[in-house]
Structure 1
């Protein structure tokens, strides 16, 4: 199955599993390292600078000149604050949440003084040092508060997605079909029956064990293989599976149990409705600093993609929660092939 040109809208772009950290300690530390947070912080500071430049400006040209000068100091100061907060994340993580707030505010004041020093170097005088430090502290406090709110909002979203995935994945009819397949094989082929039950056991073990916020892509591929091995017993030759796995992509961090629901959708909407069966292809590829993950399946002629897209929405939301703007998700039906394509940082 040639799935390389289905989603041409994507540009070709040139982990570690460990103990789960305390959520309260992640509000400032980890989020400050995300590209999305950096972009939003810079845009926020530029907006504040743009408004501040209006004070005392008599013309639009005057306002643009003031805003440009202030931006030349504010942006480096903001980036310095984010860089320090990110580089000190492990040390800050050991502090109570209130102490993290205080450190963020103090770093904001120091960063603002750094920006004031840049203004003094280019001859902008006099620089109101106290007001500059207070402004930096206030903006840093607002940014830290936004990061804390984002972290608190992430918890219920993860819980909801988790429950929805469990409900969609461990459906009663799938369990019954798997057990019926095993029963049918007990006398005819005991070894296959045992292998099927082992796959089912592994699938449920991964589903019910909390593995934290992120796992390696290689682990998710193993979960998907267990699921497809079970369905292979049920559908036989109707299910034709292809794997194209890049070993260099296996270390990418992804949400736990994100790949199996997509593979299940491919079986449900590609294999089940077709008497001839369907092909399902799972591809992983590392391209520079990006890992591309594709799940592709053939669709019966004359039939569009059915379903409500709940599983896909859950996967999309969880990818964005984990990687923010660095994650991409797209799905399309084209020329009898349905493909879900994702991009995550390598």
Structure 2
């Protein structure tokens, strides 16, 4: 829009020095969200092409900002969905375990209640999308202690953690679901139980953090493993690994690696590699 006469500016100041204006819309996609207005007091018009070019640059920045905002909302939604998934799924079984011990071992009951409180306090109060590995490690150990109270000697967990990794930043609620999958889907269906191994390393040269969760459980059926690898999902498949892959893609784009190797009755190995943060 070009305004060549001062009277068309509708300036409320009777002695307004402005005489011309070039007004160009600012857009976010197909939606107009504002205008860029360039006024002059010498009677000349600012070059329309220059103003339109500036408006185009500003509109591009607005679109990128909106895209980033939507991406953050998508990541927030995935994290909230994961929190909602943990609460009812885990709470019922743990409370049943605690209730079974109330009359036989009051001290263990008290300790389990404290650990359960620590578990949910971490889930609810953790802010942001990243935390130090040491915090997530404590969270995993708290979860494992509650599951071992339920399964007893059928669930054994081995930790192989490089001390250097403790201060590295990792996505919150990423490691615990991997360990939960190993216990829930790998070991719980095996009469004699088994062992889960959590291994973590930092590579300063490649600036990556590597995390491995391995179990010697029942493994993943070949058709389900293929759907997981292809990013497909069917009703009844579960959402754990799909949610993890979706969150990692939202947080890192292509700068991560998630590999799953499994054979039926031969166990499962999940390798995760993320940028060192």
User: In structure 2, do the counterparts of structure 1 residues 263 and 203 end up closer, same or farther at CA, with 3 Å as the change threshold?
Assistant: same
**1:269 corresponds to 2:185:** yes
User: In structure 2, do the counterparts of structure 1 residues 143 and 253 end up closer, same or farther at CA, with 3 Å as the change threshold?
Assistant: farther
Contact 1:182 1:197 in 2 (8 A): yes
1:199 and 1:211 mapped to 2: Cα distance?
Answer: 20
User: Alpha-carbon deviations, 1:6-40, whole Å to 9, x = none?
Assistant: xxxxxxxxxxxxxxxxxxxxxxxxxxxxxxxxxxx
Structure 1 length normalisation: TM-score? Answer: 0.55
User: In structure 2, do the counterparts of structure 1 residues 302 and 224 end up closer, same or farther at CA, with 3 Å as the change threshold?
Assistant: closer
1:136 Cα shift?
9.3
Greater relative contact order (Cα < 8 A, sep 6+): 1
Question: Which residue of structure 2 lines up, in the alignment, with residue 337 of structure 1?
Answer: 267
2:63 and 2:257 mapped to 1: Cα distance?
Answer: 23
- Matches for 1:55-66 after TM superposition, within 5 Å: none
2:238 and 2:97 mapped to 1: Cα distance?
Answer: 28
Contact 2:248 2:256 in 1 (8 A): yes
Secondary structure of the residue aligned to 1:170 is helix
Secondary structure of the residue aligned to 1:263 is helix
Question: Which residue of structure 2 lines up, in the alignment, with residue 156 of structure 1?
Answer: 73
Question: Which residue of structure 2 lines up, in the alignment, with residue 311 of structure 1?
Answer: 240
Q: Which residue of 143, 166, 175 maps to 1:250? A: 166
Question: Which residue of structure 2 lines up, in the alignment, with residue 188 of structure 1?
Answer: 104
**1:171 corresponds to 2:88:** yes
User: In structure 2, do the counterparts of structure 1 residues 158 and 303 end up closer, same or farther at CA, with 3 Å as the change threshold?
Assistant: closer
1:309 Cα shift?
4.8
1:185 Cα shift?
2.2
1:257 and 1:323 mapped to 2: Cα distance?
Answer: 15
Structure 2 length normalisation: TM-score? Answer: 0.68
1:146 Cα shift?
4.9
**1:292 corresponds to 2:210:** yes
2:123 and 2:51 mapped to 1: Cα distance?
Answer: 49
Secondary structure of the residue aligned to 1:280 is strand
1:340 and 1:135 mapped to 2: Cα distance?
Answer: 52
1:344 and 1:203 mapped to 2: Cα distance?
Answer: 25
**1:282 corresponds to 2:198:** yes
Give ranges in structure 2 of 5+ residues lacking alignment.
1-32, 37-46, 226-235
1:137 Cα shift?
6.2
Contact 1:244 1:283 in 2 (8 A): yes
* Greater alpha carbon shift after TM alignment, 284-293 vs 141-150: 141-150
2:83 and 2:260 mapped to 1: Cα distance?
Answer: 22
1:141 Cα shift?
4.5
Secondary structure of the residue aligned to 1:212 is coil
User: Alpha-carbon deviations, 1:104-142, whole Å to 9, x = none?
Assistant: xxxxxxxxxxxxxxxxxxxxxxxxxx9xx9999688657
More strand per residue: 2
More helix per residue: 1
Question: Which residue of structure 1 lines up, in the alignment, with residue 257 of structure 2?
Answer: 328
**1:207 corresponds to 2:137:** no
1:164 Cα shift?
2.1
Question: Which residue of structure 2 lines up, in the alignment, with residue 34 of structure 1?
Answer: none
RMSD across aligned positions (CA):
2.9
Secondary structure of the residue aligned to 2:192 is coil
Give ranges in structure 1 of 5+ residues lacking alignment.
1-97, 103-129
